[in-house]
Structure 1
Amino acid sequence: MTLINNRNGQQLAVYSFGDAAHPAIIFSNSLGTDHGMWQSQVAEFSQHYYVICYDTRGHGKSSVIENTSLTDLANDVLDILDHFQVEKAHFCGISMGGITGLQLGLIAPERFLSITIANSAAKIGQEAAWLSRATTVEADGLANIVSTTHTRWFSDKFDYIHDAIAQKTIQSLSVTEPKGYAASCRALAAADLREEISNIQVPCLALCGGLDPVTTVADGKLMQERIPQCEIAIVEASHLSNIEQPVQFNQVLSAFIAKH
């Protein structure tokens, strides 16, 4: 683990794997998780890529930063790339990490070879619901969300109880700082890129979960229609498709980034 300071002097926990001489790929986690959710992808991609994972602000070992916006989440990625002196990278983000990738495609297209938006959308959920969740979590903690999260993250077809990465990821939610989680909820409440994504000039992949009730295939199709260079792929999984279907996820991602 490397602790780096972002442009605001706040600490981000970053993890790198593989040879820095190889093309870089940076993975961005979902709300309430940390870098550990990418364990299957690190194992697959660190042989041929320089893999960078990090704990999104307010998650894992990164600093809790209130008054966070989607632009702040995107700028953290750029600060990490700057720290490692990576001029151009492939990006793969899931859920909150996916919409972070869309923002990066708008504000810093020159830094990315490709952007994969996994289980995400140009607008995730509804503003009022996010704001309500933020307030509830700050008051009551995350216990209620932890107890039901498997129903949103994984499909009934997946034996998450006996999957080590799934269990580790649920555990990461249980230890997420409520203030960090709430700050991200408020960032998502304000995030709506549906009208802007037609300006993205980076090759994109909308990687959808066919069983995802949170960010649906319809959300992926909207991105495919509006982003000039956007492919779509569907894996048979729910919201954390990289954990539920790691082999299929890795195959789709590998084939896409190999073209760019």
Structure 2
Amino acid sequence: MPYAAVNGTELHYRIDGDRHGNAPWVILSNSLGSDLSMWTPQVAALSKQFRVLRYDTRGHGHSEAPKGPYTIDQLAGDVLGLMDTLKIARANFCGVSMGGLTGVALAARHASRFERVVLANTAARIGSPEVWVPRAARARTEGMVALADAVLPRWFTADYIEREPVVLAMIRDVFVHTDKEGYASNCDAIDATDLRPETHGIKLPVLVISGTHDVAATPAQGRELAQAIPGARYVELDASHISNIEKADAFTKTVIDFLTESK
């Protein structure tokens, strides 16, 4: 199981595709309360055309959960540090939710390291203190099992939850085993982040993907994000918050078409 020491934190990562080949890189960044396994539906298709780097955000999966609170600068810096460790000069980037927020920071502040960026089910400002402060507190005091029934139904439509109980069981298993302090510290990072003043300065090609039924990062917020970034594209899928799983085929095709189109 590969790890990299990045910014004083051991980050778990995985590479698919020919690591030593010449294909372009794409980096995949997970949502809050998940891990790199959330990208399983995309990996086979992406790795035919890209070298695919997935990683567990600090405080998630098999990555370390250093004492928080965390900041968006740390989350973005972890990506850059991982790229430096693996000698990746430039890459494409795709993130969902918290991973998308990380992508906004990277696109706005470190454009020279990236080719194209996909921001899925996210916004430049996600939620409010009324959401994040009690959620972080509950994670710390009651643990992840107590949060699961409140959070996970917001990730998928009711039809999908009824249709895919095995998928939901696996996602729940990852969620409840997320380090509670790591989860809470990432809530702190999201709560402290408002990148709306920086979006107008993004010059990279950007694709924004929203879910029609997403209540955590609404389509209105997705459209606002796309409209704020010069030249950004907007696509809406018939899904809730974790659209890369609920509408896996459409999500994968949309991302690959965007990443491989002629400039």
* TM-score normalised by length of structure 2: 0.95
2:212 — aligned with what?
Answer: 210
The answer to whether the 8 A contact 1:91-1:116 is kept is yes
Higher alpha-carbon deviation: 103-112 or 151-160: 151-160
1:3 and 2:13 are equivalent in the alignment: no
Supply the RMSD in Å over aligned alpha carbons: 1.3
Query: By how many angstroms is 1:176 displaced?
Result: 0.5
Higher alpha-carbon deviation: 148-157 or 189-198: 148-157
2:45 — aligned with what?
Answer: 44
The partner residue of 2:85 within 80, 83, 86 is: 83
1:112 and 2:114 are equivalent in the alignment: yes
The answer to whether the 8 A contact 1:199-1:227 is kept is yes
Query: By how many angstroms is 1:224 displaced?
Result: 1.4
Query: By how many angstroms is 1:163 displaced?
Result: 5.5
The answer to whether the 8 A contact 1:165-1:243 is kept is no
The answer to whether the 8 A contact 1:128-1:189 is kept is no
Q: Secondary structure at the match of 1:147?
A: helix
Query: By how many angstroms is 1:168 displaced?
Result: 1.9
Unaligned runs of 5+ in 1: none
Query: By how many angstroms is 1:67 displaced?
Result: 2.5
Q: Secondary structure at the match of 2:159?
A: coil
1:225 and 2:224 are equivalent in the alignment: no
The answer to whether the 8 A contact 1:17-1:50 is kept is yes
Q: Which amino acid aligns with 1:214?
A: A
> Once the two structures are superposed, what CA deviation does each residue of 1:179-226 show, in whole Å capped at 9, x if it has no partner?
000000000110101121101111111111111111011111111111
2:171 — aligned with what?
Answer: 169
Q: Secondary structure at the match of 2:213?
A: coil
Query: By how many angstroms is 1:166 displaced?
Result: 3.7
Q: Which amino acid aligns with 2:3?
A: L
2:31 — aligned with what?
Answer: 30
Correspondences of 1:139-218 after superposition (within 5 Å): 139-159=141-161, 162=164, 164-218=166-220
The answer to whether the 8 A contact 1:27-1:93 is kept is yes
Q: Secondary structure at the match of 1:158?
A: helix
The answer to whether the 8 A contact 1:161-1:167 is kept is no
User: For the structure 1 residues 126 and 57, does the alpha-carbon distance in structure 2 shift closer, same or farther, using more than 3 Å as the test?
Assistant: same
Q: Which amino acid aligns with 2:36?
A: H
1:236 — aligned with what?
Answer: 238
The answer to whether the 8 A contact 1:205-1:231 is kept is yes
User: For the structure 1 residues 83 and 215, does the alpha-carbon distance in structure 2 shift closer, same or farther, using more than 3 Å as the test?
Assistant: same
Alpha-carbon distance in 1 for matches of 2:168, 2:188 = 26
The answer to whether the 8 A contact 1:10-1:63 is kept is yes
- Aligned identity (percent) is 35
Alpha-carbon distance in 2 for matches of 1:96, 1:50 = 22
The answer to whether the 8 A contact 2:138-2:147 is kept is no
User: For the structure 1 residues 217 and 162, does the alpha-carbon distance in structure 2 shift closer, same or farther, using more than 3 Å as the test?
Assistant: closer
The answer to whether the 8 A contact 1:160-1:167 is kept is no
User: For the structure 1 residues 62 and 160, does the alpha-carbon distance in structure 2 shift closer, same or farther, using more than 3 Å as the test?
Assistant: farther
2:17 — aligned with what?
Answer: 18
Alpha-carbon distance in 1 for matches of 2:165, 2:13 = 24
Alpha-carbon distance in 2 for matches of 1:18, 1:136 = 40
The answer to whether the 8 A contact 1:33-1:59 is kept is yes
Correspondences of 1:48-87 after superposition (within 5 Å): 48-65=49-66, 66-87=68-89
The answer to whether the 8 A contact 1:160-1:166 is kept is no
Q: Which amino acid aligns with 2:6?
A: N
The answer to whether the 8 A contact 2:161-2:168 is kept is no
The answer to whether the 8 A contact 1:31-1:95 is kept is yes
Query: By how many angstroms is 1:157 displaced?
Result: 2.3
* TM-score normalised by length of structure 1: 0.96
Aligned length: 259
Alpha-carbon distance in 2 for matches of 1:125, 1:101 = 17
